[in-house]
Structure 1
Amino acid sequence: MAAIDYYLSPISPWAYLAGERLENIAQKHGATVTYRPLDIMALFDRTGGTRPESRHPARLAYRAQELPRWAEHLGMPLRMDVTLTNPAPASYAIIAAQAAGGDTGALVRGLLAARFADGRDIAEDGVIREVLAASGFDPGLADSGLFVGAETYGRNLERAVEAGVFGVPFYHVLDSDQRFWGQDRLDFLDRHLGTL
C-alpha cells in the first residue's frame, strides 16, 4: 500500500482546486494519505520562492487569469476577492482532526471551500468550528489541538524542506520517493500509483 504525504496550506487556491481528486486517486489505488499543513510563506522563504506580494506584476496577472480558467474547467466556484489571512488556526484544526481520526480530507476540502467558494475567513474560530462539525469532527478540536498543532505545523515545514517540497499542493509518494507539485499533476500521480 502506497503512502502519500500531502503538503498543503488552507490559504492556497491551488489546493482548493484539487477538490477531492487526491482522495479518489488514493482510494482507487489503496494508498494512504497523511495531511501535512504548513506555513507556505515560510516555505517560500526557505526554498527560494517568492511571496505573492513580491512577485512580478506579469506573474500576478497570469495567476489572475489562470485561477478562474482552472475553476471553470473543473466546474468549481472560485472567489478571487479573498485577502490573505492567517493559515495557522485552520492548519492546527486539520492536524488535530487527523490525530483524532475521521475524514480529514473532508475537513481540508471544507476549509478550502469556506475560503475560496464562500469567501469566509478561516482564521476565525467560529468558521473553523462550523467546518469541523460539518465534516464530522468535534468542534472542540479547534481549542484542544492548539499546542500539538503548533508543534506539528513547525515540524511539517522542516519535513517539507527535507523532502524537496517548494510549493503547495505537493504530493510525495514515500514508497517510490516520487514528487508531484500542483493540482494539475494529479493525473501523473494517479498513473504513477498504478505502476506500484
Structure 2
Amino acid sequence: MAQRIDYYFTPVSPWAFLGSERFHSVAVKAGAEIAYKPVNFGTIFPASGGLPLAKRAPQRQAYRQVELRRWADHLGIPLQLNPTHFPLADELAALTLIAADEAGADLAVLTTAFGRALWVEDRNIADRETLGEILEKNGVSRSLIERAESDEIRARRDSYTEQALAAGVFGAPSYVLNGEIYWGQDRLDFLESALG
C-alpha cells in the first residue's frame, strides 16, 4: 500500500512554490500518494503563535528576503522577491485547487503553476480571470471557479484547516507523513529519507 503525505499549504507561499517540483519528484520516486490540503493560515497562525508577514518584526522580514534570495539562487528559480500582488488573499486560489482536486485535475501541475504565476510571472492569483487563464493553460475548465465558491468546497477547506491544527501544523508548507511534520521546503531531504 502506498504511503500518504498530507500536504498542508497555501498557494501564495513562496516556500511552497520553491519546494513544489522537488516535493512532487520525491513523492513520485517513493510511489507516495499526496493528499492536497490548502488551508487557512489566517486561522492557523493565531492558534499556533504565528504572525502574518506584515506583523513580524523587521529583522524577521529582512531575513526572510535574504533566505528567499538564497534559495531561489540555489534552486535556479527566477523568483520575484517583492511581487506586485503580494501579500494577497489566498482564499479563491485555495478553493480553486480544492475544486480542481475534486474534479481529478493534476494538482502537482496546478499547485506549481499557481506559485509560478505569482512568484515568477508577477501575476495576481486572487483574480478570477488570472485563475481562469492558468486553469485553461493547464487543461482545466475555468468553470471550476464557480464550483470553488460553493459552500461544499468552503467547508472542505475549513475541514482541512481543522485537520492541520489537529496534526500540529503551524506553517507552510507542511508535509505530514505517519503523523510526523516536516515543515518547510528545506526539510524535503528528511521527508525523502522517511519515505525510504
Tell me the TM-score normalized by structure 1: 0.94
The residue that corresponds to 1:161 in the other structure is 165
The residue that corresponds to 1:69 in the other structure is 70
| Cα distance in 1 between the residues matched to 2:59 and 2:169 | 24
Residue 112 of structure 2 aligns with an amino acid whose one-letter code is R
Residue 54 of structure 1 aligns with an amino acid whose one-letter code is K
Do the aligned residues in 2 keep the contact of 1:169 with 1:182 (CA within 8 Å)? yes
| Cα distance in 1 between the residues matched to 2:112 and 2:154 | 21
Give the alignment partner of residue 142 of structure 1, picking from 142, 145, 158: 145
Do the aligned residues in 2 keep the contact of 1:91 with 1:149 (CA within 8 Å)? no
Do the aligned residues in 1 keep the contact of 2:92 with 2:148 (CA within 8 Å)? no
| Cα distance in 1 between the residues matched to 2:20 and 2:3 | 21
Is it true that 1:102 corresponds to 2:105 in the alignment? yes
| Cα distance in 2 between the residues matched to 1:37 and 1:190 | 21
Residue 47 of structure 1 aligns with an amino acid whose one-letter code is S
Which range is displaced more, 41-50 or 61-70? Answer: 41-50
Q: Cα offset for 1:134?
A: 1.8
Q: Cα offset for 1:143?
A: 1.1
Do the aligned residues in 1 keep the contact of 2:147 with 2:153 (CA within 8 Å)? no
The residue that corresponds to 1:171 in the other structure is 175
User: Where do residues 33-44 of structure 1 align in structure 2 (5 Å cutoff)?
Assistant: 33-44=34-45
Unaligned runs of 5+ in 2: none
| Cα distance in 2 between the residues matched to 1:36 and 1:105 | 12
User: Where do residues 111-150 of structure 1 align in structure 2 (5 Å cutoff)?
Assistant: 111-147=114-150, 148-150=152-154
Unaligned runs of 5+ in 1: none
| Cα distance per residue 1:114-151 (max 9 Å; x no partner) | 00001111010011111111222111101122112211
Residue 159 of structure 1 aligns with an amino acid whose one-letter code is Q
Q: Cα offset for 1:154?
A: 1.2
The residue that corresponds to 2:82 in the other structure is 81
| Cα distance in 1 between the residues matched to 2:175 and 2:138 | 23
| Cα distance in 1 between the residues matched to 2:60 and 2:186 | 18
| Cα distance in 1 between the residues matched to 2:23 and 2:57 | 31
Q: Cα offset for 1:172?
A: 0.5
| Cα distance in 1 between the residues matched to 2:20 and 2:94 | 17
Residue 128 of structure 1 aligns with an amino acid whose one-letter code is L
Q: Cα offset for 1:179?
A: 1.4
The residue that corresponds to 2:4 in the other structure is 3
| Cα distance in 2 between the residues matched to 1:77 and 1:143 | 32
| Cα distance in 1 between the residues matched to 2:64 and 2:29 | 31
Tell me the TM-score normalized by structure 2: 0.94
Do the aligned residues in 1 keep the contact of 2:16 with 2:185 (CA within 8 Å)? yes
Do the aligned residues in 1 keep the contact of 2:173 with 2:185 (CA within 8 Å)? yes
Give the number of equivalent residue pairs.
192
Residue 123 of structure 1 aligns with an amino acid whose one-letter code is A
Residue 187 of structure 2 aligns with an amino acid whose one-letter code is R
Percent identity, aligned pairs only? 38
